[in-house]
Amino acid sequence: MKTLSSYAVILMASLLLTACGGQDDSAPVEQRLEDASETISEALDAASSDVKDALDEASGNVNEAFDEASGNVKEALDEAADAVQDTLGEAQDKLGSREGSDLHSAIAADYRENLGPLFVHFHQNPELSNFEFETSKRLAAEILALGYDVTEGVGGTGVVAVLENGEGPTVMIRADMDGLPVKEDSGLAYASTATQVDASGKEYPVMHACGHDVHITSLVGTARQMAERRDEWSGTLVLIGQPAEERISGARAMLEAGLYEYFPKPDYALAFHVAADYPSGKIEVPKDIVASSSDSVDIYVRGIGTHGASPHKGIDPVLVASQIVVTLQSVVSRTIPPLESGVITVGAFNGGFKHNIISDRVHLQLTVRSNNPEIRMQLLDGIDRVTEGVARSFGLPDELMPEVVRSPVETTPPTINDTATAMLVEEAIRAQMGSDVLFSKPAEGMGAEDFAYFVEEGLGVKGVYFSVGGTPAAELDSAPGHHSPFFKIEPEPSIRAGVEASVISAMALMPKS
């Protein structure tokens, strides 16, 4: 392959031959070479000039093209930057400037400094229903220090805190305080080892196995933020530390103690429950039914005792009770409309004490659930009818008819949100915390909640009860349920979201005029 220098030699030789060929052959060789050299030099100068002109023109074209390309690239980059800025702006709008907002940042700081340690304290020191003595004392002290007017001992161990802040609606925010008779096996470093003696004199292990420690901690955080933001709302705030939610009796006890007579009666009532089956920090605001009704029922079945080898000489209450248990399921499957919800569960069956003795009594303990007041009464009346019918089919005389007792204490109607208020609260949360924080999941059970008494029809109080997720998304499939000894909540995102949503909701209902 010829190199550039090879072509140069050939060109020079060609030019020399051409130059020499046009001269007088008689001229001396030196003269002829000198003339040829001048001719070549002139030719090279001319060629060099042409090349320079061509390069200058090409360079101008390249620069022009580069400038044009640079302009296009800059324009594209500017457009991309504008698009990114618009996207960030939209995202910021959706989040309501949440990460940089004063409220969000203040709650984060409060969790680090106060709420985190307070949660651990409450978790390690749970107390049974109606025995929340130290819990209520600590809750009252925390809120009193924030400038609220605090009253203890309402309806037992209930706490009521009031903060008046000008004209406007009255909003009540409730948190339940009680733990459960469960021995904790969560593996948490701050797991409860507490025990407590109940009203029967029996000692039980106690655990916050339903997240009420999250609720009362969040109530303190909410109290602090509302007190520090009095220039942003107008009205009266009432905070409630409620006893005995697990016995579905504490709300009614506070009302019977004059909650709505001796303290400002709310126009609106708010509460939330942390949910182990929801992702941490996510929020659901139901528009109607929130929780089912619940009624505890005891059935005392009597019989005629005899020797186990001679059942014909008595009437076996174990058999009678067993038939009652089976037949009760027909009340749900065959007497209420199939599109209505209802549950009758026999949770305890106690009878007999010896292998070869047919006893004379059995005690059944039931829970009854529904979402409709009419269905509720239909189920309860069905229990009465089935119990008597089965007993008579076994030949029990009138004086030995079973006794059916509906608990006057462990009973609550369905909890139903006020639709318009729930929509207002949800929109306020969406505007401030972003749409991505909202979550929805179909109900899978018929849990009950005595918050229903605070917003029962006829009282004129519009209620909103929402849920806040408490389990990391990656752990949802294996998360232990409520009331389990393995139950645990991711506290920080749950408490922070609970406080933020509560503050936003309260302020939306008590806007500054």
Q: Would you please indicate which residues are annotated as catalytic (active-site) residues?
A: 178, 245
Cβ count near 361 (within 10 Å): 17
| Residue 291, token pair as written in the block | 């929780």
Segment (H or E) for 175:
strand 170-176
* DSSP state letters, 53-103: HHHHHHHHHHHHHHHHHHHHHHHHHHHHHHHHHHHHHHHHHHTTTTTT-HH
Q: Taking the mean position of all CA atoms in its chain, how far away is CA 62?
A: 61
Residue 384 structure tokens: 């009465």
| Helix or strand run (H / E) with residue 503 | helix 491-509
Spatial contact of 263 and 238, defined as CB atoms under 8 Å apart: yes
Between the alpha carbon of residue 509 and those of residues 51, 59, 161, 329, 337, the distances in Å are 83, 71, 18, 44, 38
Rg (alpha carbons) of the chain, rounded to whole number: 42
Residue 361: strand, helix, or coil: strand
- Distance spanning both ends of the chain, measured CA to CA: 92
Helix axes 491-509, 419-433, angle to 10 degrees: 120
Contact between residue 268 and residue 462 where contact means Cβ atoms under 8 Å apart: yes
CB 23 within 8 A of CB 35: yes
What whole-number distance in Å separates Cα of residue 14 and Cα of residue 32?
15
> At residue 114, what is the residue type?
N
**Cβ proximity of 447 and 273 under 8 Å:** no
| Chain centroid to CA 453 | 23
